[in-house]
Amino acid sequence: MALYDLNPMSTIFSKIIDGELPGRFVYRDDICVAFLTIAPVTEGHTLVVPRAEVDHWIDLDPETIAHLSQVARLIGVAQQEAFGTARIALIIAGLEVPHTHLHVLPIRSESDIDFGRADASVAGDVLDDVAQRLRDALGTHGSN
């Protein structure tokens, strides 16, 4: 894996990864983490984020992007189990935060992919419950 220079100003995602800001983590390894977004579009909306601060996903080395995809797939399988949706969307938009992140969303229809529907008012206890359901589903698949 290539070594990346971290930006002098850490992104909000780096601050979450480093524990400077709270995050509802559902997965962690040496390359990436996955945590719930604080403004979900659908229940279980999870971000898969590399530890390295790389703004644009096409600037990641092939091994890292492949690993992020594998983790996103694992999260998607757990989401399907935990929330019973027929499909899981995977989106890399990268406009909100200058740190690569994959959106993994349980969806029932194409309208569920509308980021204009993001809800920043979901109660903390609801997000805690969603995170636990995902962690439980991930545990059945041998994940951390």
Q: Please count the other Cβ atoms lying within 10 Å of the Cβ belonging to residue 92.
A: 16
Annotated domain spans of the chain:
12-139
CA atoms within 13 A on the CB side of 5: 2
Considering the candidates 45, 99, 101, 103, report the single residue annotated as catalytic: 101
**Phi and psi angles of residue 27, each rounded to the nearest 5 degrees, phi first:** -155, 145
Active site residue 101: yes
Taking only the tens of pLDDT, the chain with its 144 residues reads 334 444 456 899 999 999 999 999 999 999 999 999 999 999 999 999 999 999 999 999 999 999 999 999 999 999 999 999 989 999 999 888 999 999 999 999 999 999 999 999 999 999 999 999 999 999 977 665
Write out the CATH class of domain 12-139. alpha beta
Please give the C-alpha separations between residue 105 and each of 5, 52, 122, 131, in angstroms, as whole numbers: 30, 23, 16, 13
User: Helix %, strand %, coil % for the chain, to 5?
Assistant: 40, 15, 45
Enumerate the β-bridge partners of residue 105: 89
Locate the DSSP E strands across 11-122.
25-28, 32-36, 46-50, 87-91, 102-107
Specify the pairing of strand 87-91 against strand 102-107: antiparallel
